[in-house]
């Protein structure tokens, strides 16, 4: 969301003149529709006012330019995954949006089956998993990045947890994906609407004390990363 907002600010600054014209035209049309007499001219000014407000709302939503849309879709994917995670029981705990030196981890989830790094993808086209990647039209999301994130969290937790703790990387796909869940080269790919049933059906590997220790270790890692790498978007 912070990246999307930064992109929107930059796009609006780049098109400052057009936005100024739009923001002047909207109240002008509103005033004309109020003060002008005669139904035809009033209908026309009201229609223009509505069209301008709609246009401003659409461009604001999409970030001022089509280049910001992938970040908007990313925000929506993260929000949908977060809503699904809330459906899990009290034995599950999640840390959202953990910043690190190369970006952020969407969700790090701790539950009875273990620790999961969830990366959300909201896609418009149908997706498939092949050649160690998630493909959706032209976009390609490499599995190597997901493995690297899980490995980084694994090593960071190891310093705090003092015992090996496997971190399963899962790409959560919001869109059309033929398989409910598939794993390729240690990276899982799960359909968003099937995420909770899949997680709930996994065998327990961490007891309550281990889960408490793992979540505490995760919070220490999160706080340490935030102190080490302050980011200014």
What pLDDT is attached to residue 219? 84
| Lowest-confidence pick of 11-20, 197-206, 210-219 | 11-20
201 within domain boundaries? yes
Same domain? For 140 and 189 the reply is yes
What pLDDT is attached to residue 196? 93
Residue 133 pLDDT > 80, yes or no?
yes
What pLDDT is attached to residue 197? 93
What pLDDT is attached to residue 200? 93
Percent of the chain with pLDDT over 90: 22
What pLDDT is attached to residue 56? 65
- Give 232 or 170, the one with higher predicted confidence: 170
233 within domain boundaries? no
pLDDT classification of 233: cutoffs 50, 70, 90: very low
What pLDDT is attached to residue 194? 92
Same domain? For 25 and 103 the reply is no
Same domain? For 156 and 218 the reply is yes
Same domain? For 95 and 46 the reply is no
What pLDDT is attached to residue 117? 94
Tokens of residue 39, six digits:
């139904």
Sign of CA dihedral 104, 109, 115, 118: negative
Same domain? For 57 and 155 the reply is no
Most confident of 30-34, 71-75, 95-99, 203-207: 203-207
Percent of the chain with pLDDT over 70: 71
- Please choose, from the candidates 124, 85, 139, 78, the residue with its C-alpha nearest in 3D space to the C-alpha of residue 104: 78
What pLDDT is attached to residue 230? 45
For residues 180 and 191, give the distance between their C-alpha atoms in angstroms, rounded to a whole number.
5
Residue 62 pLDDT > 70, yes or no?
no
Please tell me the total count of domains within the chain: 2
Instruction: Count other Cβ atoms within 10 Å, centred on residue 20.
Output: 10
Kindly report the average pLDDT of the chain as a whole number. 78
Mean pLDDT in residue range 66-91: 74
What pLDDT is attached to residue 227? 60
Last residue of a domain, one of 23, 44, 64: 64
- Give 38 or 147, the one with higher predicted confidence: 147
**Domain membership of residue 26 as a residue range:** 2-64
Same domain? For 28 and 114 the reply is no
Same domain? For 22 and 85 the reply is no
Q: How distant is the alpha carbon of residue 66 from its chain centre? A: 17
What pLDDT is attached to residue 221? 79
For residues 167 and 188, give the distance between their C-alpha atoms in angstroms, rounded to a whole number.
11
Same domain? For 163 and 191 the reply is yes
Same domain? For 113 and 216 the reply is yes
What pLDDT is attached to residue 99? 75
Same domain? For 15 and 94 the reply is no
For residues 149 and 104, give the distance between their C-alpha atoms in angstroms, rounded to a whole number.
9
What pLDDT is attached to residue 232? 40
Same domain? For 13 and 92 the reply is no
Same domain? For 21 and 39 the reply is yes
What pLDDT is attached to residue 199? 94
| Lowest-confidence pick of 8-22, 72-86, 99-113 | 8-22
């Amino acid at each position: 969301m912070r990246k999307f907002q930064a992109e929107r600010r930059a796009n609006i600054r780049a098109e400052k003149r057009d936005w100024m014209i739009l923001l002047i035209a909207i109240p002008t049309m509103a005033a004309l529709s109020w003060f002008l007499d005669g139904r035809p001219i009033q209908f026309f000014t009201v229609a223009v006012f509505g069209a301008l407000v709609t246009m401003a709302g659409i461009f604001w939503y999409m970030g001022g330019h089509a280049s910001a849309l992938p970040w908007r879709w990313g925000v929506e994917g993260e929000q949908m995954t977060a809503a699904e995670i809330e459906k899990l029981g009290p034995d599950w705990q999640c840390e959202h949006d953990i910043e690190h030196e190369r970006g952020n981890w969407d969700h790090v989830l701790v539950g009875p089956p273990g620790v999961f790094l969830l990366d959300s993808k909201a896609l418009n086209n149908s997706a498939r998993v092949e050649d160690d990647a998630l493909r959706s039209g032209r976009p390609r999301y490499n599995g190597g990045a997901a493995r690297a994130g899980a490995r980084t969290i694994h090593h960071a937790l190891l310093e705090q947890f003092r015992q090996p703790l496997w971190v399963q990387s899962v790409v959560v796909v919001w869109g059309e994906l033929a398989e409910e869940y598939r794993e390729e080269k240690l990276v899982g790919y799960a359909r968003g609407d099937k995420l909770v049933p899949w997680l709930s059906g996994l065998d327990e590997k961490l007891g309550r004390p281990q889960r408490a220790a793992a979540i505490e270790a995760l919070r220490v890692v999160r706080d340490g990363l935030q102190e080490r790498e302050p980011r200014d978007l």
